[in-house]
Amino acid sequence: MSNVAFLGIGAMGSRMALNLLNAGHRVTVWNRAPEAADELVAKGAQHASSPKDAAKGAEFVFSMVRDDGASRQVWLDPLKGALAGMAKGAVAIESSTLSPHWVRELGGEAAAHGVSLLEAPVSGSRPQAETAQLVYLLGGDAQTFERARPLLNVLGSSLHLVGPLGAGALTKLGTNALLGVQVAVLAELMGILQRAGADAARVFEVIGGTPVSSAAARQMVGLMLAGDNAPRFPVELMEKDFGYALDAAGSADAAPTIAAAHGVFQHGMIEGLGQANITSVAQLFTQ
């Protein structure tokens, strides 16, 4: 069993850390709000007061935080950052959804500390994290991937090494952009059907049986029709990911469809939907 540190134990990280703990690994956790660690500590995890302290003695250090800024602080803070506490030869596993530019920069910083970085963003939300069914979209070298594989197998149902550092971020942003564009279109269609007095449930049932429909689209429609906006994937995070995707594209002109869908989620933020599920943007077109 491995000594593992887990940094960021929010909705996703807490479930992932618990799976590692249940698999018999020795897990030390850190979170910006310390009280979030209480449940994991009660189940056997150790609690650290800083990322640096959590990383001391760890063979593998996971991070699951909100964005580039939070990731930078967790790893590189000069007094409390995790890299300062990691031993040479340890592995940093960054599972946050980040920009490719920052991932590559972090890889350089890790190498300067004698640490190997594996970028490990995931496809899946809270239910998949809880049931260890996450899909890993990995960037880095094959040797580091093989070292981390036993731990990742505890957390996910499939592991995909897609290229060097930065490729994982691009794959994750592409996955989320494709989902977000579908959600924006479905929300607009919901409004069109409502205004036309059509039976939206029946129409989407028929569309869902055609080759153009995806499993994700059918799931999103079901949530929209049920008015279920519990935050599996909050609007504010999709809006952030669209922003990173557009940064990677270089301009809105280079990705006009993504830019238009980004605008829908920006509107959702303005309307106070930031913490609701991405399906809540249907309200922008149906009320």
Average pLDDT over residues 44-52: 97
Look up 56 and say whether it is catalytic.
no
Residue 66 buriedness (CB in 10 A; 0-12 / 13-18 / 19+): middle
Average pLDDT over residues 200-212: 98
Query: Is the pLDDT confidence value at 287 over 90?
Result: no
| Percentage with pLDDT > 70 across the chain | 100
Query: Is the pLDDT confidence value at 27 over 90?
Result: yes
pLDDT of residue 125: 87
Average pLDDT over residues 129-151: 97
**In the CATH scheme, what is the code of domain 170-286?**
1.10.1040.10
| Percentage with pLDDT > 90 across the chain | 98
Average pLDDT over residues 84-91: 98
pLDDT band at 239 (very low <50, low <70, confident <90, very high): very high
pLDDT of residue 126: 87
Please indicate whether the domains covering 3-164 and 170-286 agree at the CATH topology level: no
pLDDT of residue 173: 98
Query: Is the pLDDT confidence value at 284 over 80?
Result: yes
Read off the pTM: 0.95
Q: What is the mean pLDDT of the chain?
A: 97
Give the whole-angstrom CA distance, residue 245 versus residue 268.
18
Cα distances from 259 to residues 72, 215, 243, 247, 263, in angstroms, run 26, 24, 8, 11, 6
Average pLDDT over residues 209-238: 96
Helix extents (H) in the chain: 11-22, 38-42, 51-55, 68-76, 82-85, 100-112, 126-130, 142-155, 167-196, 200-208, 215-226, 235-249, 256-270, 283-286
3-164 falls under which CATH superfamily?
A: NAD(P)-binding Rossmann-like Domain (3.40.50.720)
Which of 52, 80, 172, 240 is flagged as catalytic? 172
The domain spans of the chain are 3-164, 170-286
pLDDT of residue 15: 97
Give the whole-angstrom CA distance, residue 136 versus residue 123.
6
Average pLDDT over residues 76-102: 97
Average pLDDT over residues 114-142: 96
